[in-house]
């Protein structure tokens, strides 16, 4: 795997391979000594142009458990306001000998620009770009769904026939996009739920059912209900009237939680707004996979770094 920029270009086989390697990695994390020597001598740079402590420490833990050296480069704020361009930053990292760059950037497409510009030779992992994609989040979500469904029998399996509803701010969500592409590639059926203002204007090309009514989506009995974080600044741009109305219409409250099928799971990429998109009852219920998602995130990111740095490097998106 040369880079991991998105999930839209992953094939089902490629995705299953990543998930299966993540299973192997998860197995090693149950040992007393979690650290593997696999990436000794390799340097992974976490290049974060946006604050995201959770994602950064997850990648950091993944790299360290594979014995890679980790450099955290926090370029908070935009490259423009900082006065240093993405190009200069990238070339600085290249000069320091980075083998992989994990990039979080506020601009959609920035990881692709980094990977295709010729500024660096390191592999690029997209850790979330603007409102475009967040591929490792989708991979850890798929891993979590598969694990809950198939347990120790997960290896080699797709998500054929599994029904997932993603609820909230679809328009601005890289998590929703990456999950849509990955889950449908793996055979799942995806329903997107949210106010019409927070659904992109033209989703005719998306392999998803669009529903504005959360109760309708819940009545359909999804296997997984994924609640997205709602940003309060969206209110100022008139996407919805206020938090109360949002929570009433699209929040997962106790009553909606109770009407879900018994084996449905509740997911959230974190950090949660308790009382807004998700109630405390839902967040703390046994159905909630929030903490499993965090743990699985380390395994999935170990798998991605492993395939990027230890596997043979083929064409983009290709795993040999």
Site of interaction with other proteins (CB under 8 A): 8, 78-80, 85-87, 105-110, 112-113, 116-117, 129-133, 174, 177, 200-206, 237
> Shortest approach of other proteins to residue 294 CB, angstroms?
24
The whole-angstrom separation of Cα 12 and Cα 185 is 6
Q: Nearer to other proteins by C-beta: 23 or 129? A: 129
Say if CB 317 and CB 2 are below 8 A apart. yes
Q: Nearer to other proteins by C-beta: 68 or 86? A: 86
Q: Nearer to other proteins by C-beta: 8 or 71? A: 8
> Shortest approach of other proteins to residue 234 CB, angstroms?
13
The whole-angstrom separation of Cα 101 and Cα 178 is 19
> Shortest approach of other proteins to residue 95 CB, angstroms?
17
Q: What contacts 106, CB < 8 A, 6 or more positions away? A: 49, 50, 78, 129, 130
Q: Nearer to other proteins by C-beta: 121 or 236? A: 236
Q: Say whether 111 sits in a helix, a strand or coil.
A: helix
From the list 60, 41, 45, the residue with the least C-alpha distance to 120 is 45
Rg of the chain (C-alpha set): 19
Q: Nearer to other proteins by C-beta: 6 or 223? A: 6
> Shortest approach of other proteins to residue 18 CB, angstroms?
22
The whole-angstrom separation of Cα 144 and Cα 179 is 12
Q: Nearer to other proteins by C-beta: 76 or 244? A: 76
> Shortest approach of other proteins to residue 128 CB, angstroms?
11
From the list 209, 187, 185, the residue with the least C-alpha distance to 7 is 185
> Shortest approach of other proteins to residue 174 CB, angstroms?
6
- 55-59 CB contacts, 8 Å cutoff, 24+ apart: 55/104, 55/127, 55/128, 55/136, 55/137, 56/104, 56/127, 58/294, 58/297, 58/298, 58/301, 59/102, 59/125, 59/127, 59/136, 59/301, 59/305
Alpha-helical regions (H) of the chain: 12-28, 53-65, 79-82, 86-96, 110-116, 135-150, 174-185, 214-219, 233-236, 243-250, 254-258, 280-283, 290-309
Q: How many CB atoms lie within 10 A of CB 254?
A: 12
Q: Nearer to other proteins by C-beta: 21 or 110? A: 110
> Shortest approach of other proteins to residue 59 CB, angstroms?
20
> Shortest approach of other proteins to residue 132 CB, angstroms?
3
Q: Nearer to other proteins by C-beta: 28 or 87? A: 87
């Amino acid at each position: 795997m040369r880079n991991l920029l998105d999930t839209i270009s992953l094939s089902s086989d490629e995705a299953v391979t990543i998930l299966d390697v993540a299973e192997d990695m998860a197995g090693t994390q149950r040992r007393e000594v979690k650290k593997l020597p696999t990436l000794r001598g390799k340097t992974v740079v976490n290049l974060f142009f946006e604050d995201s402590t959770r994602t950064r420490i997850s990648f950091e833990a993944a790299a360290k458990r594979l014995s890679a050296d980790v450099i955290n480069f926090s370029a908070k704020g935009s490259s423009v306001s900082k006065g240093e361009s993405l190009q200069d930053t990238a070339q600085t990292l290249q000069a320091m000998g980075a083998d992989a760059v994990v990039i979080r950037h506020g601009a959609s497409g920035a990881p692709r620009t980094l990977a295709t510009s010729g500024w660096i030779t390191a592999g690029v992992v997209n850790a979330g770009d603007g409102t475009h994609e967040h591929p490792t989040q989708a991979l850890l979500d798929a891993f979590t769904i598969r694990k809950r469904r198939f347990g120790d029998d997960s290896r080699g399996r797709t998500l054929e026939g599994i029904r997932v509803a993603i609820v909230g701010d679809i328009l601005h969500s890289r998590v929703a996009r990456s999950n849509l592409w990955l889950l449908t590639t793996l055979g799942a059926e995806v329903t997107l739920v949210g106010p019409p203002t927070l659904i992109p204007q033209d989703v005719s090309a998306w392999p998803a059912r669009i529903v504005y009514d959360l109760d309708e989506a819940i009545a359909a009995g999804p296997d997984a209900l994924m609640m997205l974080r709602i940003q309060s600044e969206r209110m100022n741009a008139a996407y919805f009237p206020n938090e109360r109305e949002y929570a009433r219409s699209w929040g997962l409250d106790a009553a909606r939680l109770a009407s879900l099928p018994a084996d449905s799971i509740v997911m959230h990429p974190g950090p949660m707004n308790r009382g807004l998109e998700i109630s405390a009852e839902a967040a703390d219920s046994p159905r909630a996979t929030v903490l499993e998602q965090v743990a699985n995130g380390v395994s999935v990111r170990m798998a991605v770094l492993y395939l990027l740095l230890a596997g043979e490097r083929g064409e983009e998106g290709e795993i040999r």
